[in-house]
Amino acid sequence: MNPSAQLSAAYQNLFPVLLTPALWDRISTVPAIVKLLESYLRKAPATMQTHTTGVLGVFQKLLSNRTTETQAFALLRPFLIYVP
């Protein structure tokens, strides 16, 4: 993602879907979705600021499972760095 460009409407509409709990139930897809959310947080932190509760909910869900707790911190790190 180019840091100087804005998110397209399609990507903006996709972001809330990425925060749905059912999407995070399959452990095999968690690392890829975390990477995608990292890109969103790096690319458009101000836009993502409105979804703080959702991102923290995902963090809590990942942290509650021993196999995904490292992914929880991988998600939290860019959130703390990029979101104002």
Please tell me the distance from the alpha carbon of residue 81 to that of residue 78, in angstroms, as a whole number.
5
Q: What backbone phi and psi angles, to 5 degrees, belong to 41?
A: -65, -35
Residue environment code for 19-43, b if the CB has 16+ CB neighbours within 10 A, otherwise e = beeeebeeeeebeebbeebbebbeb
| Domain range list for the chain | 9-82
| pLDDT for position 75 | 95
Mean pLDDT of 2-27: 85
Q: Give the least confident one: 5-14, 15-24, 33-42, 65-74.
A: 5-14
Q: What is the pLDDT of residues 31-75, one digit of tens each?
A: 999 999 999 989 888 877 888 999 999 999 999 999 999 999 999
Categorize the per-residue pLDDT at 5 as very low, low, confident or very high, splitting at 50, 70 and 90. Answer: low
Please tell me the distance from the alpha carbon of residue 84 to that of residue 69, in angstroms, as a whole number.
24
pTM of the model: 0.85
